[in-house]
Structure 1
């Protein structure tokens, strides 16, 4: 992973000619951090160098050792000098390089969570396509993607996951199946052929009574709308619902006639605690209370069909490190959590009028209900079957969100779905999301990580494009 070997003799000569100026001017610690980002050094090697003693000894060791780090180290060293404020010295190594490298010294220019050292190399680039990932500008700010992709093998297709932050995926195409898969086994794969596939409901809460505003969540909403519309769903967005408003929305979804659809997707973006989600009134609603609305006896037109819940919220204590915020609850007065509840009104409930309650006739004829429903009714499936709860984080832990990129979990989810929905089943893709979040993201202070936690009650594989 880390390059060692012989540097070009011309580059070695140039380094030595500039040795005095470099030794007198640079802060080797800052430069080393950039070299770790570029995978010239590992974090362990950096710690070893930092143990050499004084700053001058560290600088001298770095200037000697960089010559042994391989042919890519020279340019990486020059770029690192630019990004740490030594552009004039970098120009002595590679004339004009300071004009071609965008500095990532400020949080404003680097809107994403800092990629994990050793596992990804994030460098600033101009607007362009890099590999299979989109690297466009967002509101005029610099965008960052990997310079060197880490070879994380896709077990089935042999592709590589692109690590890093992608605050805007709307420029990325959704991969399409190249061949028709005949004879999909209905006992192993859910039917997924209706148009639209089903409803994709997004609940986005960003403003609360006393809790911090969830800055950056608008990027998650935009990305989710784009991804699920490209996957064939009818996407419907709901903004800033109280706890009672969320309950009312789920009750309406439960009563809705889904017989013409093959799936339901629900994405909830809000503050959370372990086992519960916050409405904008800071009332708590239990997750189980919501999923109970879709048990087969309460929502028969979804019986036997996949019901997919993607939950971007904390499940424990929150931590705040400046530009990055969390979706936790510790910033509010817990004594007022329930006092702020308010009754649901039609004005607060901004649910699409196209969701009409299921008529009595929908229950009167089993053939009209679809094969999945008939089979489910006849076989008496467990009431909680055919569900996936994709939590952004494990119980007790925070879920990270960046004010200028959105949440780590939703970013990774959208990228993976766009890249692999044509060939992979959902659980395989959720494993990719786990890998991406675990390796590609950490908080700006470098101390905090995140691990998504999908919980499955699915009985079959979910392919968004089975046989197509």
Structure 2
């Protein structure tokens, strides 16, 4: 049994499972939105706040866009496993999880804009997970590709006021190009490890102060793979990235501090990077795809540390 990519040139196999496929597609022209500069006079000031508030009643809304069938592309067999696992994982934290399958771009765009208009004032954060085919700078709906930034534009500060100064987190399982990530090896002596505890503090509600922050602040975008590279998906066990993300988040949710202080988001995501980078590689029938790796990575405009807590689901 072997792994496959969505390009006809390749076929191959992963060490732990069978039939991996890469979420890849052809690149089309990219568009840009231009936002005019504001004429409002503002005053910026410093802050000594180090942590995002995570004492709201609810953890937040989590949206999952799952695409198995994409026009002109191979079916993304195995994505159902990712869809169900990520939905269960986010529900474990108390997210209001909303799953959508095989939406057209028009419907994706409409859902994002509608959710951005909701009142998120009682939520700690917002999460969006998209699983589809992809290309450099673009991701696919069921009918067409679109620039990835269209996913977070509705949630920028000027578009979604109730999520200002709250983490907006985006997980993207898709290829970002045609390159394959080759392995490199290293050796080292075993070293003693120690557990580093997170900071503890009693949260205080400060007086009302007006701050000026960038429109693009407080966002984190995590990609399943490095720019210009393939992303692997197993037809039986799901993608390396989504399954690793769920494993790390579920383990954190089972710890006693998950209900109190919570888990440092960046530590969790670094653990996801480590898990995919160290534990997965492909075993292929063709040399060009044999022993290939994958490196998730994230871009962050978070301005504070965010501790993700397990909370009750809205309505419970």
User: What TM-score does the superposition give when structure 1 sets the normalisation length?
Assistant: 0.48
Matched, 1:250 2:112: yes
Give the CA deviation at 1:318: 7.2
Query: Per chain length, whose mean CA-contact separation is higher, i.e. which structure has more relative contact order (CA < 8 Å, sep 6+)?
Result: 2
Contact 2:59 2:310 in 1 (8 A): no
Q: Distance in 2 between matches of 1:113 and 1:410?
A: 16
Which 4+ runs in 1 deviate beyond 6 A? Answer: none
User: What TM-score does the superposition give when structure 2 sets the normalisation length?
Assistant: 0.69
Alignment counterpart, residue 268 of structure 1, candidates 130, 146, 151: 130
Structure having the higher helix fraction is 1
Cα deviation, 1:88-120, whole Å, max 9, x if unaligned, reads xxxxxxxxxxxxxxxxxx679xxx9315xxxxx
Give the CA deviation at 1:186: 8.6
Cα deviation, 1:31-55, whole Å, max 9, x if unaligned, reads xxxxxxxxxxxxxxxxxxxxxxxxx
Alignment counterpart, residue 414 of structure 1, candidates 246, 251, 258: 246
Equivalent residue number for residue 305 of structure 1: 166
Contact 2:58 2:311 in 1 (8 A): no
Give the CA deviation at 1:466: 8.7
Equivalent residue number for residue 463 of structure 1: 307
1:142-291 equivalences under 5 Å are: 187-281=49-143, 283-291=144-152
Aligned to 2:126, the other structure's residue is in SS state strand
Contact 1:192 1:466 in 2 (8 A): no
Equivalent residue number for residue 114 of structure 1: 15
Q: Distance in 1 between matches of 2:310 and 2:65?
A: 28
Q: Distance in 1 between matches of 2:60 and 2:48?
A: 18
Q: Distance in 2 between matches of 1:238 and 1:464?
A: 24
Contact 1:312 1:399 in 2 (8 A): yes
The CA RMSD measured in Å over matched residues stands at 2.8
Q: How many residue pairs end up in the alignment? A: 238
Aligned to 1:311, the other structure's residue is in SS state strand
Cα deviation, 1:387-440, whole Å, max 9, x if unaligned, reads 100100111001100000100000110001111253531111111111110111
Gaps of 5+ in 2: 4-12, 19-46, 181-204, 285-289
Gaps of 5+ in 1: 1-105, 116-121, 123-140, 142-184, 320-370
Equivalent residue number for residue 399 of structure 1: 231
Give the CA deviation at 1:467: 11
Q: Distance in 2 between matches of 1:388 and 1:420?
A: 19
CA spacing shift, 1:318–1:431, aligned 2, 3 Å: same
Q: Distance in 2 between matches of 1:467 and 1:284?
A: 36
